Amino acid sequence: MLTRFLRDNVYAAGLLLILRLYVGYQWFTAGFHKLTGGFDAAGFLKGAIAKPVLDKATGELVYPTFTAFLQNFALPNVKVINFLIPAGETLVGLGLILGALTTAAAFFGLLMNFMFLFAGTVSTNPWLVLLGVIVLMAGTNAGRFGVDRYLMPLLRKLRRQGGGDEAGRRKGIPAKA
């Protein structure tokens, strides 16, 4: 019932607009400050590797694969990470503020939040995860009062035109010669 309300109701779309603007602003300002302030993730990555999230009872790593990812991929490629994090945060913020590809922006925002949580950072991440899940659950209704109102029908139309043969083959209709 709640999901149906979030996905279909025009009043929910209005509430989602406010929620979307708040979460988008949080992401945009975080990314923008990193883009303009000389962001370097090396110290954070080294700290997350040196002091990973441990089980208090056993002392074992809680997220061993994530720690291995940080050690073997992220830290050696820190220049790429230094670009991806600020650009990703800024783009997620813009997507949510403008209501453009809102569901994708919410998904990638959640992905980044979980990465930060796996690294042991708490701050506002749990709050943004909760709000991001609400936006993601709402689907396209979250962007009803935004660019998605015009963009999503256009993308559906382009998908039908460009993928017509593929869709027809799935239904058993032979492709045009």
Q: Read off the pLDDT of residues 22-55 as tens digits, 9 standing for 90 and up.
A: 999 999 999 999 999 989 999 999 999 999 999 9
Asked which of 83-92, 100-109, 122-131 is least confident by mean pLDDT, the reply is 122-131
| C-alpha distances in Å from residue 92, one per residue of 63, 82, 106, 123, 164 | 25, 16, 7, 18, 31
Q: Which domain holds residue 117?
A: 1-43+73-159
Instruction: Note the pLDDT of residue 133.
Output: 95
- Closest by CA to 14, choosing from 148, 145, 147, is 145
Paired tokens of 23: 């979460």
Total structural domains within the chain: 1
Whether residue 65 is contained in a domain is answered as no
Whether residue 25 is contained in a domain is answered as yes
Whether residue 164 is contained in a domain is answered as no
Whether residue 58 is contained in a domain is answered as no
The percent of residues above 90 in pLDDT, for the chain, comes to 79
Whether residue 97 is contained in a domain is answered as yes
| C-alpha distances in Å from residue 34, one per residue of 50, 53, 109, 114, 137 | 23, 25, 16, 19, 29
Whether residue 64 is contained in a domain is answered as no
Total-model pTM: 0.84
Residue 171 has pLDDT above 90, yes or no: no
Whether residue 53 is contained in a domain is answered as no
Residues 14 and 148 sit within 8 Å (Cβ to Cβ): no
Paired tokens of 128: 């943004």
Whether residue 48 is contained in a domain is answered as no
Instruction: Note the pLDDT of residue 150.
Output: 93
